[in-house]
A and B are shown apart, each in its own frame.
Chain A
């Protein structure tokens, strides 16, 4: 059942009562470990659990196979137990995936969309998915699960596309490939060729009705899945509202929510308007948290010597969207910010000169621009903020994209802005440790500790260093890729793609992690379109990452246009990926939690990319036909 956010309090109470009453009192939490939102959400949740005295066990997971592994022990559980999935599980039928009996209640808090419509079943009290009302894909837009109708659709679909069916009915399926087939099978159910419905063997009158109902249903499901691939409300925000309801308000919880929201903005997973709406909401909450003594002290204290703050303070501020400005030099920060680097092409000497000319226009001496920001005097900070809007347009930068409303954290002498924290967490999460199979869990744990700024500031600093490395690597390697012509798909292509294995970046172990690849994809998308001309429309981008020790490559894709308003940022590659995989009989060995990321073997990568072109071409042709038909 899909539960609107208002009922989160009740869900929580249900968890409590279940756990107190059962033999096995702990809650098993499985958290996706690839993005900062899960780190924040898990921290929030665990903090709540600690305060309320609920036992838990948290395991970071990276793919659905691991989820299944961890739930394996529960498949014959006798008692009532709760399993909580954070940022995983909404897109799949987890219950049947893991063979969990109905006395195990599954609660899913996930920001990946689309939610599998099978969850939208009012009668199912044992699987709860939490979707808030102001989510880009709210509950009313999800088709209601109607088992009979869906089965009929599936049957007619299967009888229609019989050539593909041989796989489905293969009796010698192995366990490990079951998941892949499930996904592929569902993909076939979703794909709808309009002219393929074969009439069932019934009377002609009801026949037409049922056929029509089925077609309508199929279209509905189809359009739902093809248009709604993206991200919904960050889980941390949902959990923050929960903590608010339970009166466990704390700056820490607010900070977790803030960091998660900022991450979504930085990765362009939500639109700016949506971000602003949610951000203002948070700002109101944060204001009520502020400590009045601290404020007075701050006001009356002298300006020369600032006392270290002993309490952590979170306050709203307006921030520049320059990566890690405070931990870098002005010049480096401008040079390696994704947006600026893409527009000015700073990996080339010409771009760097351009950048320096911008600095000069802003009256910031180049010498000062290359000293660490923390050592600069306050005056340069002010100058940057005031002069950047004036001169940015001359250098092809839009001021609008360079600043945004955000928050910052003040503790002792440190000032940490939300985007700095996001990058620090990303740096820690994507720390590449080749050879260690559990590296992702360690990384996740490090990132979690980093959120506790009071004790673990050194971890935050380490994360910042790693993030700086990451930004530098991305700009340099991607720049090289562009100038060397490794980015395929020309000016007028449907989309552009690149295979990291073709280029020098193969050696860099960082380029295996899906999040780094996503960051790269966003950068490459902007950079390639700017290269052609500054008014070129952006195309979607697909990147095939470097193979890791097991020989798996990660493919990520990003959407092209930024959709404004409160609508979902749709990623158009979800279905083409599934189709390509099924056409080539490639089974993804590790299924990621979102639809736009695939892990396949490195030998299959080139074939996949080739076929993807054809598939996307077909889609475009079909869309054009549909358009022509509409106009006619």
Chain B
């Protein structure tokens, strides 16, 4: 048997290399191989167990399971567990990314869609529907929660420029965004800029009296 769990590790590394909100193409092949590896472990374990049972039934003396067999069984069991864990991590991470995509963007981009397997697309659609119901006026809270990256505390937001983005036209006039300058904007207008990464919200309090614990 070659390195145990190597395929699962490769799977995860592949996913990790696509960071951010991208998905790696669903590696059907590798998943299938991992399943087959698990099956193989399982088969080996079964073989050992059936061997022991046979011996037991045959009533042989010296029934203690010797160390080698015990270790082998443990090893197989741990391998199965590890493969299962890694597979679950893989699935979970992809689901999380799909959820984030739904929150930040409205529709699943085609490129990402092509990389999902059928079940994942199904998951996305269900999640999307659930979220829309939740935020809808009829059955839910009535506010579109996906609009803000973080809960707005005030109608105005102080942001700090992260790059020299030049002039922007805002509802109240023009403003020049420079690196290191601080601008106050209405929250709605700050949102797209924050998502772009042009500005970042500033971590300030509103005086000492108003404690935000």
Contacts and interface: CB of A to CB of B under 8 A. Distances in A.
Interface of A: 22-26, 46-47, 49-51, 53-60, 70, 73, 79, 250-253, 255, 310-312, 314, 438, 441-442, 444-445, 448-449, 452-456
B208 A60 contact: no
Given A47-B206, A50-B206, A445 B180 contact: yes
B180 A442 contact: yes
Contacts of A51: 206
Contact of B173 (A23, A312, A441, A456): A23
Interface in B174-195: 174-176, 178-185
A117 B175 CA distance: 32
B160 A445 contact: yes
B183 A56 contact: yes
Contacts of B185: 55
Size class of B's contact patch?
20 to 34
24 contacts: A26-B173, A26-B184, A47-B207, A49-B184, A53-B156, A57-B175, A57-B181, A58-B182, A58-B183, A59-B181, A70-B176, A73-B167, A253-B207, A311-B208, A314-B208, A438-B180, A441-B179, A441-B180, A445-B180, A445-B182, A452-B203, A455-B203, A455-B204, A456-B203
A528 B174 CA distance: 53
B114 interface: no
A356 B204 CA distance: 43
Given A23-B173, A24-B174, A250 B203 contact: no
A24 B207 CA distance: 28
Contacts of A25: 172-173
A442 B179 CA distance: 8
Contacts of A310: 211, 213
B62 interface: no
A54 B156 CA distance: 9
Contacts of B22: none
Contact of B180 (A26, A444, A449): A444
Nearest to B173: A24
Given A59-B178, A59-B181, A26 B172 contact: yes
Contacts of A311: 208-209, 211
B88 interface: no
Interface of B: 154-156, 158, 160, 167, 172-176, 178-185, 202-209, 211-213
A56 B160 CA distance: 12
Secondary structure at the A interface, as helix, strand, loop or mixed, is mixed
Contacts of A49: 184
B154 to A, nearest CB: 8
A454 B173 contact: no
Contacts of A59: 178, 180-181
A50 B182 contact: no
A449 B204 contact: yes
A56 B184 contact: yes
Nearest to B175: A57
A60 B178 CA distance: 10
Nearest 9 CB-CB pairs, A to B?
A: A441-B180, A24-B173, A252-B207, A312-B208, A25-B172, A250-B207, A251-B208, A58-B182, A59-B181
A49 B167 CA distance: 22
* Best-surrounded residue of B174, B176, B204 (most CB of chain A within 10 A): B204
B208 A454 contact: yes
Contacts of B204: 448-449, 452, 455
Nearest to A249: B209
B208 A252 contact: yes
Nearest to A77: B174
Nearest to B178: A59
A449 B202 contact: yes
Contacts of B158: 46, 50
B205 A452 contact: yes
Contacts of B173: 22-26, 55, 79
A255 B208 contact: yes
B48 to A, nearest CB: 56
Contacts of B160: 445
Contacts of A448: 182, 204
Nearest to B167: A73
